[in-house]
Amino acid sequence: MAMNAALLVAPGESLVLTTVNLDGPLPDEVVVRTECVGLCHSDLHYADGSLSIDMPALLGHEVSGVVELVGSAVTRLAPGDHVVATITPSCGICRYCVAGRPAQCTRVAEVRARPRPRVTLPGGTPVAILGGIGAFAEAFLAREGALALVPPDVPAQVSCLLGCCVTTGVGAIVHGARVTSQDTVAVIGCGGVGISAIQGARLAGARRIIAIDVHPTKLEVARTFGATDAILATADSSLTVAQLMALVPGGVSHAIEAVGRPQTASLAFDLLAPGGTATILGLMPEGQTLEISADALVYGDRRIQGAYMGANRFLNDVDMFVDHYRSQRLDLDRMVTAVIPFAQLNEGMKAMANPNTVRIVLDMGAGQPARPA
């Protein structure tokens, strides 16, 4: 099937709008017509070369759409179903899946593997696909297990957020950090993932939620999503730590890092009270290392951990997110800063640096030409 797509052909360059060919589904695969795609900083990291991927590449992973075609072995989904996708499909039978940690599935490469390319250029050259999805296109192929049903009354421009920033931010609170009403939480970085973590901490009943960012505008936004306090971060991290200690003497029980820099990961650890846990969410350039105090680690029984994609349990979590959204406990609508047409993708990628931005969403149907025959 020929379709319009935006390809990364060289790091640091604009994505190229072109025509590619989408393969038909294998027995356990589903073809999904793309409706909306959230622009995520992970996509930006691949686009600017901070993270490596073969090229040409098809990025985009925070996506909602409608099922168009299903493979012969698909039993859970049918054409017309509304779905969101995850880049962490799981096999369901490895040691991590059966232990309730599907985001760490040891067979994810096998789950994503297929005997022929998902997408090719018109001349037959294979296109690399980010996370087994590749949503910067009119349609995408995914395994049935990578797709969760969403009710059709949930708007596509907000349901797409469930696939990444909400899964990561709220999931980190629920599954990674396991925050309770006894806890104090600091969230470093108030973009899409950070705002989701703030909302997750509010849902969990955390007694203090401290938003930390370098942009005053982002702190103002964070307060409207549930932050009880706000700290304007400085280049000198010790001053940021001092500000937090003035608010929460001794430190917080949980610090969530949602930026993706070694310095902010170290800051998260420095904000902890004895027995506290720093949970690192932000993807960092390859080869980066972290520096923390050995004394604070050992004598203070402090912990530092990752929570890849929020340590999510995606197919189960989406139902939880939808219920909280419908009851207005999870505000997804205000997280969408702007909705733009597919043709403005490159402008949208640049606008992600704007401090007023929480999430920019591509509407694949807005102003789109007809799909190539």
Give the pLDDT confidence of 168-224 residue by residue, as tens digits.
999 999 999 999 999 999 999 999 999 999 999 999 999 999 999 999 999 999 999
How open is the CA angle 37-284-332, to the nearest 5 degrees? 35
Tens-place pLDDT, residues 340-357: 999 999 999 999 988 889
Using DSSP, how many helices (H) and how many strands (E) does the chain show?
Answer: 12, 18
CA dihedral 302, 306, 310, 313 (to 10 degrees): -100
- What CA–CA distance (Å, rounded) separates 344 from 340? 6
Mean pLDDT over 81-96 rounds to 94
Going by C-beta distance under 8 Å and a sequence separation of 6 or more, which residues neighbour residue 199?
A: 169, 170, 225, 226, 330, 331
Mean pLDDT over 101-111 rounds to 91
Structure token pair of residue 328: 């207005």
- What domains, with CATH codes, occur in the chain? 2-163+332-363 (3.90.180.10), 178-307 (3.40.50.720)
Q: What is the pLDDT of residue 283?
A: 86
| Positive or negative torsion for Cα 328, 320, 137, 130 | positive
Going by C-beta distance under 8 Å and a sequence separation of 6 or more, which residues neighbour residue 144?
A: 28, 29, 30, 70, 71, 74, 75, 76, 77
Q: At 366, is the pLDDT very low, low, confident or very high (cuts 50, 70, 90)?
A: low
Q: Are 250 and 273 in contact (CB under 8 A)?
A: yes
Tens-place pLDDT, residues 37-69: 999 988 998 999 888 999 999 999 999 999 999
Q: What is the pLDDT of residue 286?
A: 79
Tens-place pLDDT, residues 257-308: 999 899 999 999 999 999 999 999 988 887 889 999 999 999 999 999 999 9
C-alpha to C-alpha distances, 269 to 276, 278, 301, 323, nearest whole angstrom: 8, 5, 12, 33
